Structure 1
Amino acid sequence: MRPEDADTPVTEAELHAWLDGQLPAARQQEIEAYLASRPEEAARLADYRGQKAALRALFDPVLDEAAPARLLRAAAPRQPWYAQRWVAGLALLLLGTGAGWGMRSALPAGGDATALALAAARSPEGFARRAAVAHAVFSPDQRRAVELDAAHEEQLSTWLSRRMGAAMKPPHLQAQGYALEGGRLLPGGQGPVAQFMYRDSEGRKLTVYVSNELGPAGAASAPAHAGVPASAMPTTAFRFAREGRVNVFYWVDGAYGYAITADAGRQVLADVSNEVYRQLVSE
């Protein structure tokens, strides 16, 4: 894409440089004038800024984490360079061997590195991380947070069910304080993923993320969370994870993974997870 002004061409690269504040002051002002006369372009750039802010909010806290002591010790060389290189090579060899051995049960017979990577991507932890990133990217979007809104709930259900190959009805969470905003289709590791988005009375977002790619490799059992009654447990117990500033409650049931993500406390997510699971088993 190459938007153009009548006098001075404005490239897509310049628009992104403007968004990142990397243009000279004079050109920055020209781009601002260009966008002032093109509200659709300005809105598109505003969406990009929102997605960028969401990703920074999700991953910036990692920058403030203290470096592990083992890395600090490694930063102070106490051996000749050739000895360090030999030790580093041995460590990498052992790490690679250990990782491959640790995931051998997830690989098919004769599996290769591609299969190993796929098995890692299908893990419950990787699934929860993708759900958190999807939440962080789309929740702040004021214009395109969903592809089909709640006014078209039946159409949304039909569309997602067809693409996912199973009934996909958005859970009703009014009793938990969340109203449906709509949903969208997202790319997964090997196929589509469904995301339903909700909003509470104060405008805070919650998303329900559903994938059918987990399969047996992702169905390892986990201890129940204290806030979730044992009677409500799916085949794989609820798990809790924190990714950046958002919390995730997730579980795997057969080939399907479900993740509830929000900037909310554990008990809130536990209550919502219970209700989502209750509605799933009652269908």
Structure 2
Amino acid sequence: MSNEVRVWVDGALVGADQPALAALDHGVTVGDGAFETCKIVDGQVFAADRHYARLDRTLAGLGLPPADREVIEQGVAAVLGAGPTIGFGRLRYTITAGLGPLGSDRGDSGMTYIVTAAEVPPFAPSVAVATVPWTRNERAATAGLKTTSYADNVIALAHAKARGASEAIFGNNRDELCEATGSNIFVVVDGVVRTPALSSAPLAGITRELTIEWARAAGIEVVEEALPMSVLETCDEVFLTGTTRDVHPVHRVDDRELPAPGPVTTRVQQAWAAASATEINP
């Protein structure tokens, strides 16, 4: 597998280690931007339209105009065509507010477009997660938005990895289960799949959305609701969903061991595999 990251910025392919952004880009100075990460399957982008729609929801939440999809498509074509076909990988496009002052005020230079792509290895069959002492703020201006301001996630993930886990789990300020740093969380209680409602402030994950749709279509009961953090101490199964994770079983939460995959998680995995194999842009 190649470790090469293909990079395109505002109309041109650039080396991954070459400077390509202005020092005063608002995405650099204050993290003012939005991004999407998509799965690449045999050189094609999975669920592309859903990702575009979420990008525009994030940009609107930031007070920025909708993205120019034709510009993004130009970048996508450039990075996907810049080498051998990527069989399994990650495509990311980032849109920043463009040049701005050294502060929270914005300039009016127009937005910056960045597209990257790379092969990635598949995840292990199951994962350990750790809860963290920090919370998501369900009343934050950026709640539920996929912005480039990821410092909280960096800190939380380092905390989890120091404890032998590879993903961190946040609650919110109401002590409700919320999400992980780069994935959504589901629990199984008495045979029913449950996941935090969007009112608890998780990101509206594309894989989360499709998992709910496809599991329900397969006859699996899925409930979106506010869940206490303590559900992680009593639930029967846990799994994560994410762009390149798909449906990913959890075998340990903090010090608590769990079956991975449990019987319900296995059914959800089967429903995902069957449905996702039929369409690249569901």
Normalization by structure 2: what TM-score? 0.25
Structure 1 or 2: more helix by fraction:
1
More strand per residue: 1 or 2? 2
Higher normalized contact order (CA 8 Å, seq sep 6+, divided by chain length) = 2
TM, length-normalised to structure 1 = 0.25
Higher radius of gyration, 1 or 2:
1
